Amino acid sequence: MKELLLSILVLFAFTLKAQDAVPKVSKSLEDDAQKIAEYQERCETIKMLIVNEEYKVGCYTNYNQYGPSSKAQRATGSLKIANYNLLHPGTSKALFKDYALVAKIMNQYDIVSGLELLATVGRDEQSNKAVVSFLQDSPNILKKYQEQRSKLKDAAKIKELDAKIAKLKSDTYRAYDLYRAPGYLRVLQELKKLDPSWSLLLSPRGDSALIGSVEELVGFYYRANSVTPVINPHCQEYAQEGAGSPVACFITLTEDFMGRDLVQHFARRPFMASFKAGNTAFTLVTSHMVFTYSGDEDAEKDLMKKTFGVESHKELGTGINSANFARYAEVKNTLDFMDRYRKKYKDTKIMLMADMNLVSNNAFWPEVLKAFPGGELLISEATTVSPTRYNSKKEETNGVANDYDHFILDKKAFPSCDEGKVYNYYNEKIYKDVESRYVIRKEVVGLSNKSFESPEVEAYLGLDQIDVLNTEESPILDGDIPPVDDPATIKLEYPLTPAGQSKMDKFVSQFGKYLTGLETVKKDEIVADDFQINERLEGMKRRVFLRQLTNPYYFRFIQEVLSDHFPVVLNCKF
């Protein structure tokens, strides 16, 4: 089996090397096809080296599918549908993410649209390329060694070369297990430990607003014993060669469907999939809407004209401004697509679930919702984490910030769905798990908001031994170490108890064992991957633990181990 995998990897390794010389591409049909092909290659490699026939994997031009291991659909009952911005699992923003806790949260639901997913980056991607290159080169190296051996007569040299051959064979066999999983797959792996039927429909490529910026994927995690993907008529109509069964795809934003070309006006194109629960089929559209518009003045005019029929957002009245016009434009155009979809395909059960980067209390929403008659905006509670304990008015934030995540649906089409709910970590059972694992501070009456900067306190906290407050770090690969984005001087406003110190030390020690156990390939042999171990350990100490002792980063550890967003949940009966 591994010989077959090796022959396929030869082609993949060539593709990886070719990609190094190719600049980032646009969203033209040709460039889009090329980018999708690159992601298909990644999918095929994951299928061979990580999944290895444990469950079904399909790498298509419309989507990638991971799972299911089983398929025993529940006939009827309630369905919990969630939207969850997972904050770049597998990158520097999520270096300390607790995948088991994230999966425990998601396992409460039947379908979860996961946002801000990424392919491997930074050191993990570098190591993966080295592994694939080694597996490609290994047969040639072995052949060279065997030719050298056939010419040797000295017993000592033969013995030495035999040892090299044995190590090469051993390393080649072991290298198949060194390919590192992307964050979205690590989430799925943890979910499958809780229920093997968990599966994933993933967008076919990463999307971004700017050339060279991070390419985000989105996907639908779904429990196969609750729902089944079914054919989506739009995906079927616009399917290209290699699309797979047309159950999921990017929504079409070209002129032939929308009446005007909107592809370049979306930072990240919405992704859709259709499912069936019992006898009811429905369609979900998900997206992470743009935050900051990156187009020039001409592009803005074109966007405004195609979306609102004006040249400037200033012509549109209250609620829309220079900061949010592009967000509203993406939402409105997505709703326009949904309205065209339900009219053309006579399918009214379609809803949008997204991180819209827009608050619900804005006077411009009625204008936007006109694009989808009957549509209602659900969720008005805060859905994002505030890192600070106090806001600018010195009021308690309670660890929450903005209501950015919402559902939009026509309740007449979904009469059995409720009004939606925010899964606020602090108010749910999961916080007990978070607290027992990570919380180290202890608030003492009379000590809150005081400064602990004396040498005695620094020694007590271990700050005299590690430079946790230093903002200077050595240059590193993107996606490896969380950037130090806090001020050079931080007041330590809460004491660290001996129990907290012990908890931190134990957790950091466990993380250290994980890091020192990582291996990679260098110079055609497997070696320990000692890349930035101390920096990562100190990063964990600082960002997950010691920052809890400050008001500006009081809740930041929640973002580090879970996400900076809460899931939003819709309960439906089908």
The pLDDT assigned to 174 comes to 96
353 and 455 share one domain:
no
Instruction: Say how far apart CA 107 and CA 569 lie, in whole Å.
Output: 12
Instruction: Say how far apart CA 553 and CA 463 lie, in whole Å.
Output: 17
The pLDDT assigned to 474 comes to 29
Residue 125 phi/psi, 5-degree rounding, is -65, -40
364 and 446 share one domain:
no
234 and 295 share one domain:
yes
Mind listing the pLDDT tens digit for each residue in 351-375?
999 999 999 999 999 999 999 999 9
What value does the mean pLDDT of the chain take? Answer: 88
What CATH code is carried by the domain that includes residue 188? 3.60.10.10
Share of the chain above pLDDT 70, in %: 86
Q: Tell me whether residue 130 is in a domain.
A: no
Q: Tell me whether residue 552 is in a domain.
A: yes
372 and 442 share one domain:
no
Instruction: Say how far apart CA 74 and CA 154 lie, in whole Å.
Output: 70
In sequence order, what E strands does 381-502 have? 405-410, 421-422
Give the mean pLDDT of 564-573.
98
Q: Is the separation of the CB atoms in 425 and 562 below 8 Å?
A: yes
487 and 424 share one domain:
no
Instruction: Say how far apart CA 279 and CA 242 lie, in whole Å.
Output: 29
Alpha-carbon Rg for the chain in angstroms = 26
252 and 386 share one domain:
yes
Q: Which residues pair with 353 in a beta bridge?
A: 286, 407
Structure tokens at 331: 């939402």
- pLDDT band of residue 127 (cuts 50, 70, 90) is very high
Q: Tell me whether residue 87 is in a domain.
A: yes
Between residues 424 and 450, the one the model is more confident about? 424
Q: Tell me whether residue 195 is in a domain.
A: yes
Q: DSSP secondary-structure letter at 179?
A: P
- pLDDT band of residue 27 (cuts 50, 70, 90) is confident
If one counts every other C-beta atom within 10 angstroms of the C-beta of residue 24, the result is 12
286 and 355 share one domain:
yes
242 and 361 share one domain:
yes
Q: Tell me whether residue 462 is in a domain.
A: yes
Q: Which residue has the tokens 């969203």?
A: 27
Q: Is the separation of the CB atoms in 496 and 554 below 8 Å?
A: no
Share of the chain above pLDDT 90, in %: 80
Q: Which of 25-34, 215-224, 322-331, 407-416 has the lowest mean pLDDT?
A: 25-34
Which residues, at least 6 apart from 323, have a Cβ–Cβ distance to it below 8 Å?
Answer: none
Q: Which residues pair with 532 in a beta bridge?
A: none
The pLDDT assigned to 443 comes to 59
pTM of the full structure:
0.90
Give the mean pLDDT of 30-34.
90
Structure tokens at 137: 């080169």
The pLDDT assigned to 472 comes to 30
Q: Tell me whether residue 138 is in a domain.
A: no
Domain containing residue 525: 438-561
For the chain, how many structural domains are there in total?
2
Between residues 78 and 213, the one the model is more confident about? 78
323 and 229 share one domain:
yes
21 and 65 share one domain:
yes
Cis ω for the linkage preceding 204 (within 30 of 0): no
Q: What is the DSSP string of 20-80?
A: HTSPP--SSHHHHHHHHHHHHHHHHHHIIIIITTSS-EEE-SS-EEE--S------SSEEE
- pLDDT band of residue 310 (cuts 50, 70, 90) is very high
Q: Tell me whether residue 109 is in a domain.
A: yes
Q: Which residue has the tokens 């580090």?
A: 560
The pLDDT assigned to 488 comes to 41
Give the mean pLDDT of 200-225.
92
pLDDT tops 50 at residue 544:
yes
359 and 423 share one domain:
yes
19 and 55 share one domain:
yes
Structure tokens at 469: 């407050």
